[in-house]
Structure 1
Amino acid sequence: MIIAAGGWLAFGGINNLSGLVNATRTPTADSSSAAFSFCGADRHVNCVVDGDTFWFEGEKIRIADIDTPELNPPRCEAERVKGEAAKARLLALLNAGKFSLSAGLRDEDKYGRKLRTVMRAGRSLGDTLVNEGLARRWDGARHGWCG
């Protein structure tokens, strides 16, 4: 252990430490992409479930910073309509180019979905959905979308 640390220091480890610290503060480059479609009964590969949930590279992702209307089941027709619009918009956003996923304080929710913020060019795709009226900021509780 001491030898490994000594070797690390001898080859510039201490000088590279500041780079490592700075790297954790800067956003990661947008390097993820896929051709997304809507999920089906047996389709769970790079697909959109609803406005805040999608499958990517074998993992179910819940967008951590937003909440969108429920589709399974919607509580009213207005929720269904807005939920379908949020789902379609998320599909378009994911297919619009490269993005990055960043974890927050919790890695997973109680359903085993990975909690991630989806970013493109330093902006949250969740913010886009909120600004377009298709989502709300996640505050830890579900709020109704019916009247």
Structure 2
Amino acid sequence: MDDDAIRRYLSDHRAAAMITLRPDGTPHAVRCGLGLVDGRIWSSGRPDRVRTAHLRRDPRATLFVFGAAPDDPFSYLTLETEVTILDGPDAPELNRQLFTAMQAHMDPPAGTLFWEGAPHDEADFLRIMAEERRLIYEFRVTRSYGMV
């Protein structure tokens, strides 16, 4: 599957399962949201998450992206990836970029982003991201397949 087909699918499908590998090689799956930022596939996380520890040890992850609408209940996209964790001092700003992209279809009030169901101005949102030490998972696709 080419990069354009992946981007088209991800533009309308943001719900996924992220599968990482435990030290014994067994899979660990969690639900996550995905967004496209400048053509890159991102998700948000925290340093204390189990998946973060798995990815620091082994950067491989599989994303299973769900169909999103009644008219495509059987569509899916599987992405085998290598993950880079972006957790530098710019991580709050990177999260702002991600959530801006993910919430574009929600039409939030100008200058605000939703967090935990409430709108926050950008300065407050950046403060929350810094306090939570949120980071970005950046996925580089190594193989893709599905019914898109």
Range of TM-score over shorter length: under 0.3
Q: Higher relative CO (CA 8 A, sep ≥ 6), structure 1 or 2? A: 2
Of Structure 1 and Structure 2, which has the larger fraction of its residues in strand?
Answer: 2
TM-score, structure 2 normalization: 0.25
The structure with more radius of gyration: 1
